[in-house]
A and B are shown apart, each in its own frame.
Chain A
Amino acid sequence: MKKSQDDLLENQVIEIRLLIQAIYEKYGYDFRNYSQAHIKRRVINRLNLSGMANISDMIHEVLINHKFVDQLLMDLSINVTEMFRDPSFYKAVREQVVPVLKTYPFIKIWHAGCSSGEEVYSMAILLREEGLYNRTQIYATDFNPVIIKQAREGIYPINRMKEFTLNYQKAGGKSAFSDYYTANYESAKILDTFKKNIVFATHNLVTDSVFAEVHMVVCRNVLIYFDRNLQDKVVGLFSDSLTGGGVLCLGSKESMQFSGFNHNFESLVKNERIYIKKYHV
């Protein structure tokens, strides 16, 4: 291999580490234990779009330009999602988790890494259909304040409704999906009734701690971006937040098998990565 290519790659590793360090020191957002391949892809992508010459230039821009930081935070937090994403997951929640939740007089749910809110509203709709929504409080959090604002608004492009409706049906929806939003020319707005029991707030899984005791934690497709140490720490955070018998829902490719907190949980729905916290841990 050419020496220059090796050099270039080595320099990029150093520059990205310094960029991540700069974001951490200046703004407190900590990406130091994220998957490096993921961070690199997103940073190089932004570099190409920005027209800057190299990553070192991005470091200076991050320190002085708040708009650029916001942009980079959007790049580094993946906000690709959909309503009733992975319909089989929601079906499993309906069939196997709802019976557990029904035993509680009042239900508290923490949706961590909620992004633009689609999956939170999906859960609210499901709980409404199962007669549980009125006694449920959902805390929906994400580290990114811009995306939390979007989530709170609950407004999505109308052209996505067809896909969401299909997901809803596959997930075992009991009504017409169109009953749950009002359509405008370009957009669909989730009905306000689904917002009244949801609190949207910023919370950083990497740097913040437990803030409530809950009966269910939903955190899907967030851990895949973390290295093993950080995954372990965050699963510990979820374990501390959950009551005994509480439910933990991870993404369909996320597993607890490497986590030191593995023994705190047992599997409820294996394929859907739904776990129950043991009573005595």
Chain B
Amino acid sequence: MTPAKKYKAIVVGSSAGGLNALKTLIKNLGKNFSIPVIIVQHISADSENYLIHILNDLKCLKVKEADEKEQPQPGYAYVAPPNYHLLIESDQTFTFTVDERVNYARPSIDVLFETAAEAYRDQLIGIILTGANNDGSQGLKKVKELGGMAIVQDPETAEVDSMPRAAIQSCTVDHILSLEEIAAFLNTL
């Protein structure tokens, strides 16, 4: 198996400062970047999902809200809707739940990462970006345990460093990089 074929999905978690970080990350991905990207950005329950418009305006990946039972496709980035947890089924389709907040968050990064880890195993990359809490660190640990790759934004470069720091402490991460470096690395896959 060539490295280019190995990874089937990328999950990304971001919180405070996430909008700018996601813009930088997606802007720097290559025009023909083909691994589906699945994003949980902490967002208030009643917000219109403005993130999608902003990321779409970059004219890089096609960005849309995740739909129930949808299968992630190459060339797309999917954003979890406000007030729903986004889970990945074993058949690699999206499911939503409205159960309790996890780490005070719905959608929660841990919920996405943990279910994605089981669905994709060693074909998954988990990326934790800027944020002011520790959501995502349990999920990233699970990604590693099941053979996936763990990448964390260099806390020195993060708008808010506590979420990346918590992620780095939770497991042995593969790469700690700036946003531009993360994009450059992903472009080599």
Binding site for B on A (CB under 8 A): 1-2, 5-6, 9, 13, 35-38, 41-42, 78, 80, 87, 170, 221, 224-225, 228, 253-255, 258
Contacts and interface: CB of A to CB of B under 8 A. Distances in A.
Interface range on chain B (Cβ under 8 Å from partner): 20 to 34
Interface stretch (B30-38, B96-104, B173-181): B96-104
B90 A253 contact: no
A253 B69 contact: no
Contact of A78 (B69, B98, B119, B145): B98
Nearest to B100: A80
Interface of B: 46, 67-69, 81, 84, 87-90, 95-100, 111, 114-115, 118-119, 121-122, 145-147
Nearest to B121: A1
B69 A258 contact: yes
A185 to B, nearest CB: 25
A155 to B, nearest CB: 20
Given A9-B118, A224-B68, A258-B69, A37 B95 contact: yes
Given A41-B87, A224-B84, 11 more contacts: A6-B121, A35-B87, A35-B89, A35-B95, A37-B88, A38-B87, A78-B97, A224-B95, A224-B98, A225-B97, A255-B67
B144 to A, nearest CB: 10
A1 B122 contact: yes
Given A1-B147, A255-B68, A37 B89 contact: yes
A257 B122 CA distance: 33
Top-3 shortest CB links A-B: A1-B147, A37-B87, A35-B95
B109 to A, nearest CB: 14
A78 B95 CA distance: 14
B29 to A, nearest CB: 26
Given A5-B146, A258-B69, A221 B89 contact: no
